[in-house]
C-alpha cells in the first residue's frame, strides 16, 4: 500500500456495490460518472494517489437476482446468471481486491470492519477510510437461490445438491 493511499471498502458486491465500484473506476480514470437516472455531480478534483478499493461479499460473484425466476426453471440460464468476481474484467484490470466473507460487525469510530472469512471460517478485521454498505435485503429461498457460490448453483440445477426444489 502506498503512503497516504486511502482504502474504500464496499460491503456487498451486487447491483449497488458493483455500480459504486464501476463509477469509482470511471471517475478515477478521468471518465466521469456513469449514466444514471439520479443526477450525480462530478468531483472537482481527483486524488493524486488513487485509492485502493476492496469488495467484501459472502458470495463468490454477482448473482442477477432479478433473473431468479428464470434461473429456477432453466439450467442453461442458471449458470450465466451468476458471474464470478474473477470473471469480471474491469475488477481485475483496475486492481480491485475481493474478500470473501460475511461482515459481522463494524466499529465506525476506529474504521474497522470485522468479518467471518469464508475459506477459513475465522474472524478477521479490515481497516478502511471510507465504507459503502451495499448489503441489500436478506431474501430467503425460493425468492433467491440459497447458495453462495456459482458451483453450487450449477449443482443445484442438476438436482445433486440439497436445497434445490422445483
Ligand atoms: C425476482 C425479483 C425480481 C426483481 N425485479 C426487479 C426489477 O425489475 N427492477 C428493480 O429495480 N428491482 C427488481 N428487484 C429488486 C432488486 O433485485 C433489488 O432492488 C436489488 O437486488 C438490490 O440490489 P442491492 O445491490 O442493493 O442488494 P442485493 O442484490 O440484495 O445484494 C446484496 C449483496 O450483499 C451481499 N451481502 C449481504 N449481506 C452481507 C454481509 N453481511 N457480508 C458480506 N456480504 C453481504 C450479498 O451476498 C449480495 O451480493 C427484483 C427482485 C427479485 C427477487
What tens digit of pLDDT does each residue of 53-65 get? 999 999 999 999 9
Separation of alpha carbons 83 and 62, rounded Å: 5
Q: Which residues contact 41 (CB under 8 A, 6 or more apart)?
A: none
**Which residues are bridge partners to 125 per DSSP?**
114
Percentage of the chain modeled with pLDDT above 90: 63
The three grid cell numbers given for residue 133, joined into one nine-digit string: 454498505
Q: Look at residue 85 in the predicted model and tell me its pLDDT.
A: 97
122 assigned to some structural domain? yes
Distance from residue 136's CA to the centre of ligand 1 (Å): 5
166 assigned to some structural domain? no
165 assigned to some structural domain? no
29 assigned to some structural domain? yes
Q: Which of 20, 32, 21, 3 is nearest to 94 (CA)?
A: 21
Residue with cell 440445477: 157
162 assigned to some structural domain? no
Q: Look at residue 147 in the predicted model and tell me its pLDDT.
A: 73
Give the pLDDT band (50/70/90) at residue 155.
Answer: low
115 assigned to some structural domain? yes
38 assigned to some structural domain? yes
Supply the range of the domain harboring residue 126: 7-157
Q: Which of 45-49, 67-71, 87-91, 109-113 has the lowest mean pLDDT?
A: 67-71
**Which residues are bridge partners to 98 per DSSP?**
55
Q: The CATH number of the domain where 35 resides is what? A: 3.50.50.100
Q: How many folded domains does the chain comprise?
A: 1
pLDDT (mean) for 116-123: 97
Give the pLDDT band (50/70/90) at residue 156.
Answer: low
The pTM of the full predicted model, rounded to 2 decimals, is 0.89
Give the pLDDT band (50/70/90) at residue 166.
Answer: very low
Residues 34-43 have pLDDT tens digits of 988 888 888 8
2 assigned to some structural domain? no
pLDDT (mean) for 66-91: 89
| Residue 113 pLDDT exceeds 80 | yes
Please choose from 57, 136, 138, 152 the residue to mutate so as to test ligand 1's pocket, defined by most ligand atoms within 8 A of CB: 136
Pocket flag, ligand 1, residue 81 (CB < 6 Å):
no
> Which atom of ligand 1 is nearest the CA belonging to 101?
43
Pocket flag, ligand 1, residue 7 (CB < 6 Å):
no
Amino acid at each position: 500500500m502506498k503512503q497516504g493511499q486511502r482504502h474504500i471498502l464496499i460491503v456487498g458486491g451486487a447491483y449497488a456495490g458493483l455500480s459504486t465500484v464501476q463509477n469509482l473506476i470511471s471517475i478515477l480514470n478521468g471518465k466521469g460518472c456513469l449514466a444514471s437516472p439520479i443526477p450525480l455531480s462530478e468531483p472537482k478534483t481527483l486524488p493524486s494517489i488513487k485509492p485502493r478499493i476492496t469488495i467484501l461479499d459472502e458470495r463468490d460473484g454477482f448473482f442477477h437476482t432479478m433473473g431468479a425466476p428464470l434461473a429456477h426453471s432453466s439450467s442453461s440460464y442458471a449458470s450465466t446468471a451468476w458471474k464470478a468476481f474473477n470473471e469480471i474484467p474491469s475488477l481485475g484490470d483496475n486492481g480491485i481486491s475481493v474478500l470473501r466473507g460475511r461482515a459481522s460487525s463494524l466499529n465506525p469510530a476506529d474504521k474497522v470492519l470485522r468479518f467471518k472469512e469464508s475459506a477459513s471460517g475465522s474472524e478477521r478485521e479490515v481497516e478502511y477510510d471510507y465504507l459503502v454498505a451495499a448489503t441489500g435485503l436478506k431474501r430467503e429461498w425460493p425468492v433467491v437461490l440459497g447458495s453462495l457460490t456459482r458451483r453450487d448453483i450449477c449443482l443445484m440445477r442438476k438436482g445433486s445438491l440439497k436445497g434445490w426444489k422445483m
